[in-house]
Amino acid sequence: MFIDEAVIAVSGGGGGDGCLSFRREKYVPKGGPDGGDGGDGGSVVLVADPSVSTLLAFRFKKHFRAERGRHGQGSNKAGRSGNDLVVPVPVGTLVSEAEGAERLADLCEPRQRFVVARGGRGGRGNARFKSAVVRVPRRHEPGHAGEVRTVRLELKLLADVGLVGFPNAGKSTLISRMSAARPKIADYPFTTLEPCLGVVDAGNFRSFVIADIPGLIEGAHRGAGLGHRFLRHLERCRLLLHLVDMTAERDAVAAIAAVRDELRRYGCELETKPQILVLTKADAVRDPAVKDRVIERAVAEGTPWHVISAVTGEGLPGLTRSVADTLERLRASDPADGGSGP
């Protein structure tokens, strides 16, 4: 089961209380305050773990509390600090306040850490308050409470390429032919109910990650079909492959416009991402005019296009090379990747 959203409550451990104690030993005429400090409370730490792929674990456990610090003791013994509670989350997890849009962290690198709830500081024992004026201090501090908050976790998959298109456009078949991913494939709409990732070997030591998300239909922004729920997983993609079924009853050009309109309505500038039009099911085309109309539109827009058949393998090597070449250019022009672009 693929879970990409969760709301959890996190609590840092409370600090231990400082101790009120005086040294009273036989034959020690000058005893005095010897109350130790309380230990600090542990913190709740989120860690991006590559071995975790979904937020499923947070469906069953929603409360996370770190260990509290121990109280101080006499003989200047400080209390032990509480252990941090380390919570693994998938790479690509966004952390934000549950109420409001404030983003706290974006855990997009493996083993990246974020302290989501800090532990409380331990209180000082009365030995800390001894001075030349106050020889018998009876002051000591209680431990401070740990931070308590409710946060929203949102997973956005990290992929180089995202597949978009209407249901049954051939997205799952394509990713199964280009990579080792094995999504469910069947001859009915919405076969794909959750995102699927695959790694593609493009040769010459080049590879890229491709993401298949459930198909869009017209009206997805109003909740039709599976709605816009999974489009967040395309936000990190550099390139979109827009698959167009040349055997579908609907007009192919109108289908392209409908999908792009849904991307525009979703926002996050998805419609401005580089796209490659992929005309699928070339082995089953009944009306060649469909292909001509789509290619004519692509040429007029200056959009790259490929004609493929995932069943027979027609056009797949060329598409793979084209995607790898495009990604190289995009990386080279991205300053965040150390490229030479503006």
β-partners of residue 155 are: 93
Percent of the chain beyond pLDDT 90? 43
What's the pLDDT at 340? 38
Out of 108, 137, 155, a domain closes at 155
Ranges 14-23, 117-126, 252-261: which has the least confidence: 252-261
pTM equals 0.76
Q: How high is the mean pLDDT of the chain?
A: 86
Does 138 or 28 have the greater pLDDT score? 138
User: How far apart (Å, rounded) are the C-alpha atoms in residues 218 and 325?
Assistant: 32
Domain of residue 230, CATH code: 3.40.50.300
What's the confidence (pLDDT) of residue 44?
97
More confident residue, 306 or 2: 306
In a domain, 19, yes or no: yes
Domain count, the chain: 2
Contacts of 40 (CB under 8 A, 6+ apart): 15, 16, 69, 81, 82, 119, 120, 121, 122
> According to the model, what pLDDT value does residue 221 have?
58
Query: Is residue 112 in a domain?
Result: yes
What would the DSSP string read from start to end of 98-138? SSSS-EEEEE-STT-EEEEEPPPPPPPPGGGG--SS-SS--
Residue 342 located in a structural domain? no
Of 137-141, 219-223, 284-288, where does mean pLDDT reach its minimum? 219-223
Clarify whether residues 200 and 119 are in a common domain: no
CA separation for the pair 142, 332 (Å, rounded): 56
| Helical pair 171-178 and 316-332, crossing angle rounded to 10 deg | 80
Same domain, 193 and 318: yes
Whether residue 8 is found in the same domain as residue 105: yes
Can you give the pLDDT at residue 192?
A: 57
Q: Which residue has the higher pLDDT, 286 or 9?
A: 9
Q: 7-16, 117-126, 165-174: which has the minimum mean pLDDT?
A: 165-174
Sheet holding 196-203, edge to edge: 196-203, 206-212, 161-164, 239-245, 275-280, 305-307
Say which amino acid occupies 114. Answer: F
What is the mean pLDDT of the segment spanning 59-65? 93
Q: In terms of residue numbers, what domain contains 88?
A: 1-155
Q: Decide if pLDDT at 23 tops 60.
A: yes
- Considering the domain architecture, whether residues 149 and 188 belong to the same structural domain is answered as no
CATH number of the domain that residue 15 is part of: 2.70.210.12
Assigned domain for 291 exists: yes
In a domain, residue 14? The reply is yes
127 and 188 share one domain:
no
Q: Is residue 113 part of a domain?
A: yes
Task: Indicate whether 122 and 179 sit together in one domain.
Answer: no
C-alpha 242/C-alpha 56 separation (Å) is 29
Q: How far apart are CA 308 and CA 319, in angstroms?
A: 8
Residue that finishes a domain, picked among 132, 155, 178: 155
Whether residue 273 sits in one domain with residue 177 = yes
Same domain for 14 and 144: yes
Residues 234 and 277 in one domain: yes
Domain finish residue from 92, 123, 155: 155
- Say which residue, 242 or 157, is predicted with more confidence: 242
pLDDT given for residue 339 in this prediction? 47
22 plus 108 within the same structural domain:
yes
Whether residue 177 contacts residue 183, with contact meaning beta carbons closer than 8 Å, is answered with no
* Residue at 65 is within a domain: yes
Whether 300 is in a domain gets the answer yes
- My answer on whether 148 and 228 are in the same domain is no
Say if residues 210 and 171 touch (Cβ distance below 8 Å). Answer: no
Phi, psi (5° rounding) for residue 300?
A: -65, -35
Say how many Å lie between the first and final Cα of the chain, rounded.
Answer: 42
Q: Are residues 6 and 128 in the same domain?
A: yes
Nearest-angstrom CA–CA distance, 252 and 215: 15
